[in-house]
Chains A and B, each alone.
Chain A
Amino acid sequence: MKETERTVALLKKDDEKTIRDLYNEYRPGFLLFSNRYGLDKNQVLDIYQDAIIALCENAQKGHLDELTSSIKTYLFSIGKYMIFAQMRKKKRIDEFANIEDFEGQWVDYSEERENKDIQLLRKSLPKLGGKCQEILKLFYYKEYNLDEITQLMKYENKNVAKSQKSRCIKQLKDIISSIQNE
């Protein structure tokens, strides 16, 4: 197994040490690399952390299974994409200059954070049982399909996983209405 594949496999498992080592390994280079964009150090670190998050997220979703570049190149391109996105938000540049498209692999949900429904959901999710939190996280966040979840969570068959998932969604709705009725 090549180095990159091994790292991606560890990221899929959310391996704490791998994430920490990656973070520390590429941090100085990223700070140097982003020097030219005139952002202050805290902004750059914030973006770097988001780039690491995107790397972990996309590894987990299987987007990096066919990665042809190195982890570092991927991390720095997504970081550069994020820097440009932020500069555009602040109207410091008018357009994305020949920047690789990461739209499909990174959506910044900063506006959704203000949404009332999202806030209500975030309040309700932790009130679900552990099994439900896990299955919903696998399905919606990590984008596992029901076959993979059946296997991972050792359900008898896909239908069990399917009904488990729909039960969890129903529970979530119940929690929300009980919060709304408080």
Chain B
Amino acid sequence: MNKESLIISYFENNLTDKEKLFFDQLMKTDKSFADAVRFEEKTKIALTIEARDELKSRLQSYEAQRKQKSRLQKWLYVAASIVILLGISMFVFNQQSSPSQLSAAYFKPYPNTVAPIVRGDENNLDNQKAFVAYESGNYDEALGMFEKLTKNTQEDYAFFYQAMSLMASKKYDAAQEVLTSRTWSEEYRDKANWYLALNLLHLNQVNDSRSILEEIVRSQSYNHKLAAELLKKLS
């Protein structure tokens, strides 16, 4: 076997015992042989390092892709959370600041100050019935009765409580009609103004409502403190 074949068999891990002895001997005695073997061994190591580095950088790129992917996922989670939070806060914000919602928060049907209900009082029966319905919260029923009373009596109180009943049953257009169609007597003027301001908010006429509220505050009239508070929330 020549020296070249011997080296090949050595790298093929294919030396017989006898060849192995010969190989070891040449390594000790034949410098050019030993140099050739060492050169090829180093070549093998260099090739191995090269191949490993190449594969390693591929694996590192998988790792980077994983990180990128998880970073992207994290980003998507954050973005989704922000969108959801924004949605919720806008919902809450809208809830709080919609003029109609604000108005509803401040609206309380004006109490019955006209006809205290006294058991057994047979006088003014229609009037009594209307206020019984009004006080028990049956605004639809009360509405019909107050309408009848307005026609029969043309009294301010009947129009005023008609307007109250309309607002309480969310008939804001009709309420608007009643509240603005009269020149109110002094007893109801200020109250009607306050309820008109609230009703305008339901109709989304915020600026008109605001000027009425400002007027209420300026003149320190009925519910002026609430008016000031409401103005603040409207701004």
A interface residue numbers (CB < 8 A to B): 16, 19-20, 23-24, 27, 45, 49-50, 52-53, 56-57, 109, 112-113, 115, 117-118, 121-122, 125, 136-137, 139-141, 143, 145-146, 162, 165-166, 169, 172-173
- Given A139-B11, A145-B12, are A121 and B42 also a contact pair (CB < 8 Å)? yes
Instruction: Give residues 29-61 of B contacting A (CB, 8 Å).
Output: 39-40, 42-52, 55-56, 58-60
State whether A112 touches B43 (Cβ < 8 A). Answer: no
State whether A140 touches B40 (Cβ < 8 A). Answer: yes
- Given A125-B46, A141-B44, are A146 and B59 also a contact pair (CB < 8 Å)? no
CB distance from A122 to the nearest CB of B (A): 5
Centre residue among B39, B58, B59 by max chain A CB count within 10 A: B59
B interface, over-half SS = helix
Tally of contacts, chain A with chain B, CB under 8 A: 82
Q: Of A122, A146, A173, which contacts B39 at CB under 8 A?
A: A173
Q: What is the chain A residue whose CB lies nearest that of B63? A: A45
Q: How far is the CA of A141 from the CA of B46 in the complex (A)?
A: 9
- Given A19-B58, A145-B12, A169-B40, are A136 and B52 also a contact pair (CB < 8 Å)? no
CB distance from A22 to the nearest CB of B (A): 10
CB distance from A109 to the nearest CB of B (A): 5
State whether B47 touches A140 (Cβ < 8 A). Answer: yes
State whether A136 touches B62 (Cβ < 8 A). Answer: no
Q: What is the chain A residue whose CB lies nearest that of B45? A: A112
Q: Of B8, B48, B62, which contacts A109 at CB under 8 A?
A: B48
- Given A53-B55, A53-B56, are A113 and B62 also a contact pair (CB < 8 Å)? no
- Given A53-B55, A169-B43, are A118 and B49 also a contact pair (CB < 8 Å)? yes
State whether B59 touches A118 (Cβ < 8 A). Answer: no
State whether A146 touches B55 (Cβ < 8 A). Answer: no
Q: What is the chain A residue whose CB lies nearest that of B14? A: A145
Q: What is the chain A residue whose CB lies nearest that of B58? A: A19
- Given A53-B52, A121-B42, A166-B4, are A140 and B11 also a contact pair (CB < 8 Å)? yes
A interface, over-half SS = helix
In addition to A112-B45, A125-B47, A146-B8, 7 A-B residue pairs with Cβ atoms within 8 Å of each other are A16-B58, A49-B63, A50-B56, A57-B52, A118-B42, A143-B12, A173-B39
- Given A49-B56, A140-B40, A141-B44, are A23 and B62 also a contact pair (CB < 8 Å)? yes
Which residues of chain B have C-beta atoms less than 8 A from A56's C-beta?
55
Can you list 22 residue pairs at the A/B interface with Cβ under 8 Å? A16-B58, A19-B58, A20-B62, A23-B59, A27-B66, A45-B63, A49-B59, A50-B56, A53-B56, A53-B59, A57-B52, A109-B48, A112-B45, A115-B42, A118-B49, A121-B42, A121-B46, A140-B47, A141-B48, A146-B12, A169-B40, A173-B39
Q: How far is the CA of A18 from the CA of B39 in the complex (A)?
A: 34
Q: How far is the CA of A146 from the CA of B12 in the complex (A)?
A: 8
